[in-house]
Chains A and B, each alone.
Chain A
């Protein structure tokens, strides 16, 4: 194994560990918000490590744009779905308020309700 193979092995094992960490987080975390936190690990850093392993093994500049596009679009689209899921989770009362230390959105909602808006 030369240096490139060692780096590839580190990237692949790191990416796989990210996926396993997300699975363990999904199984053990108690509520929706903390599960969302665990879910982002393989989607961003895990995918980056895997794409780095591909780039290290194939070593072709022509591949770099495709790999960059795959990762950049992942960076752009993951927050969109996370925002929608978090919003829906807050609105449908699936959050567990006793687990939160600060709930700033709740203050805003209560202020609006007291004004008779909403």
Chain B
């Protein structure tokens, strides 16, 4: 196996462990906002995986996806945060 191939395997394992940790926090997280933050981190981990794939296989197929992801990725958490604040004010 070439040098960068080994690096790819290590990065895949590390990113999988990180994704497992964030998914556990999404499932267990005591509050809704903890889950929102964990989902944001999971999105960042997916972006890292897309970029790693592009770097190691020398293609640019995921680049548009990566740009769109960084442009619109924050809308979900903003919406949920707004919703949480609104509900608590009414109650």
A residues touching B (Cβ–Cβ < 8 Å)?
A: 1, 5, 8-9, 12-13, 15-20, 22-24, 26-27, 32, 35-36, 39, 42-43, 46-47, 50-51, 53-54, 56-58, 63, 66-67, 69-71, 73-74, 77-78, 80-81, 84-85, 87-89, 91-92, 94
Contacts and interface: CB of A to CB of B under 8 A. Distances in A.
Contacts of A43: 40-41, 44
Given A8-B55, A23-B22, A84-B81, A91 B47 contact: no
17 contacts: A1-B4, A16-B10, A19-B15, A19-B45, A20-B17, A39-B37, A39-B41, A42-B41, A43-B44, A46-B44, A54-B54, A58-B54, A58-B60, A70-B63, A71-B70, A80-B74, A92-B84
Interface residues of B, number: 53
Interface of B: 2-4, 7-8, 10-11, 14-15, 17-22, 24-25, 31, 33-34, 36-38, 40-41, 44-45, 47-48, 51-52, 54-56, 58, 60, 63-64, 66-67, 69-71, 73-74, 77-78, 81-82, 84-85, 88-89
Contacts of B54: 54, 57-58
Contacts of B37: 26, 32, 35-36, 39, 85
Contacts of B4: 1, 5, 8-9
Contacts of B20: 23
Taking chain B's interface residues, is the majority helix, strand, or loop, or is none over half, making it mixed? helix
Contacts of B73: 74, 77
